[in-house]
């Protein structure tokens, strides 16, 4: 039963934004003043992670609050039917919230299935038949969506958006969000998800935002001492993982990526600045900003996601509440958290019971300044995607990160405090065994009962395959 003090919840989500791609995280060139202001007004979780860092499994975990092994999707696979017992928007809808999704869909199957939202208004960059596609076809039928820009939807090529800025999908998404706020039912609280496709490729921000970064000295990608360059000098634009980005290729990819985030930040100002005008009480509204996973962006000779490294797995997470919500401002919290924590956090804020089977932990106590960590160690994983050796599991306590490759047995260990870019692999060299063994034992406990057979005789075991969907992950 909703009460008068149940807060509105505005969930803003980007696709493929690295955790360090924020001014508030200390990025050397990227400008995100509106997100930085939000972080200053609330709490920024400096060690937020995607537990399965690619679009479909990450968004599934967000929707149901369950870890990949619990919900059954441990890798990237499209076209999988899924009928969860509970979802975040579904629980809020049942409780009496007006729930709406605008922009990037949640990448489940089929695309138009609402998964608990009362209504959706879908906009991507390249999907025929979604609401943005119909809009842009009416405006400029010769454009053929983003396709006339000649850009890959997963690659590192970039160029400025060639049409009027107001026709860009980022602007369209905010326009439609503002339309919902202006026309919503004022007698109940809302849960509005504003989901941007950016900065996921195609890297095509409006000219102002791309040119801003082309004028600057860009940071070089991090290349760890454990890396070997791929044997091709430059990757195909649709290369799945291994790349050597240098010179113009690197510069335009970075400008396209950073410019896309800057553009989103610019439009977020519109969402946050009209709160009073849109007819809802800013004092009783919680704003959450997250991304589904990150982007390697040339680090360690890699592009795209699915990796356990910081560029791919760490994501931004900011939560801020108005004066009446009781949430504290100006906090930077360094305990490991994940996308699964969003569901129980929202439900507790709304006074809604958290369903059985949810793995995520409510962050409300931390948001109120009560201290403590919601978990000591976080486990993430991704099944085979780009190559056999790419499948991985990782553990992190926010200070250390341990990585194990189940198809090869390769191990890595990084001290994230001393080496935040994972340049030095501490699983090699003197004293490596003493450092690594406690992390092996922790992972054994996490994987002991998995159907893939990752553990045998109390030890990690190299396996022959890592399926993307476990038997209980379909239907």
55 is catalytic: yes
Q: Which two tokens stand for residue 37?
A: 């202001």
Identify whether the C-beta of residue 322 lies closer than 8 Å to the C-beta of residue 48.
no
Q: Given the structure tokens 């509106």, which residue do they identify?
A: 34
Identify whether the C-beta of residue 249 lies closer than 8 Å to the C-beta of residue 156.
yes
End-to-end CA distance of the chain: 31
Q: Given the structure tokens 């809802």, which residue do they identify?
A: 280
Catalytic residue among 52, 55, 204, 338: 55
In this structure, the strands spanning 331-333 and 337-338 are unpaired
Pick the closest to residue 337 from 317, 365, 322 (CA basis).
317
Count of beta carbons in the 10 Å neighbourhood of residue 274 = 15
Residues near 230 by beta carbon (within 8 Å), at least 6 away in sequence: 242, 243, 244, 301
Q: Which two tokens stand for residue 97?
A: 């919230």
52 is catalytic: no
- Give me the DSSP letters along 186-239: TTS-EEEEEEEEEESSSB---HHHHHHHHTS-PPPPP--TT----SSSS--TT-
Give the largest CA-CA distance in the chain: 65
- What is the C-alpha separation between 10 and 270, in angstroms, rounded? 13
Catalytic residue among 67, 86, 100, 107: 107
- Active-site residues, by number, are 55, 107
């Amino acid at each position: 039963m909703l009460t008068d003090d149940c807060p509105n919840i505005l969930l803003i989500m980007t696709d493929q934004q690295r955790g360090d791609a924020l001014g508030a995280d200390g990025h050397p060139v990227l400008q995100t003043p509106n997100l930085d202001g939000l972080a200053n007004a609330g709490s920024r979780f400096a060690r937020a992670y995607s537990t399965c860092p690619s679009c479909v499994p990450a968004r599934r975990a967000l929707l149901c609050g369950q870890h990949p092994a619990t919900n059954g999707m441990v890798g990237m696979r499209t076209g999988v039917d899924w009928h969860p017992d509970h979802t975040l928007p579904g629980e809020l809808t049942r409780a009496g919230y007006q729930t709406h999704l605008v922009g990037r869909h949640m990448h489940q199957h089929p695309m138009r299935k609402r998964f608990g939202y009362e209504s959706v208004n879908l906009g991507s960059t390249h999907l025929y038949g979604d609401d943005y596609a119909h809009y842009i076809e009416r405006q400029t039928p010769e454009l053929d969506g983003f396709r006339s820009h000649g850009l890959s939807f997963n690659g590192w090529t970039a160029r400025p958006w060639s049409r009027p800025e107001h026709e860009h999908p980022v602007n369209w998404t905010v326009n439609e969000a503002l339309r919902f706020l202006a026309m919503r039912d004022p007698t109940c609280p809302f849960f509005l998800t504003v989901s941007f496709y950016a900065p996921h490729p195609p890297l095509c921000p409006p000219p102002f935002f791309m040119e801003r970064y082309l004028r600057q000295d860009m940071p070089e990608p991090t290349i760890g001492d454990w890396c070997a360059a791929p044997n091709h000098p430059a990757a195909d634009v649709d290369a799945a993982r291994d790349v050597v980005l240098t010179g113009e290729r690197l510069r335009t990819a970075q400008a396209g990526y950073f410019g896309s985030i800057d553009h989103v930040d610019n439009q977020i100002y519109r969402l946050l600045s009209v709160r009073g005008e849109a007819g809802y009480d800013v004092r009783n509204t919680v704003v959450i900003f997250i991304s589904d996973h990150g982007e390697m962006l040339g680090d360690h000779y890699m592009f795209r996601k699915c990796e356990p490294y910081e560029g791919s797995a760490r994501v931004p997470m900011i939560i801020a509440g108005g004066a009446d919500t009781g949430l504290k401002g100006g906090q930077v919290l360094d305990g490991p958290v994940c996308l699964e924590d969003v569901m129980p956090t929202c439900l507790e804020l709304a006074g809604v019971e958290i369903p059985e089977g949810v793995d995520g932990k409510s962050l409300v106590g931390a948001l109120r300044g009560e201290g403590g960590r919601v978990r000591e160690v976080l486990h993430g994983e991704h099944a085979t995607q780009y190559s056999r050796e790419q499948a991985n599991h990782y553990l992190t306590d926010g200070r250390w990160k341990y990585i194990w490759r189940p198809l090869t047995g390769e191990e890595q260990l990084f001290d994230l405090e001393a080496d935040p870019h994972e340049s030095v692999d501490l699983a090699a060299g003197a004293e490596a065994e003493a450092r690594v063994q406690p992390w092996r034992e922790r992972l054994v406990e996490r994987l002991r009962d998995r159907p893939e057979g990752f553990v045998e005789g109390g030890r990690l075991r190299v396996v022959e395959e890592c399926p993307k969907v476990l038997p209980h992950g379909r239907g």
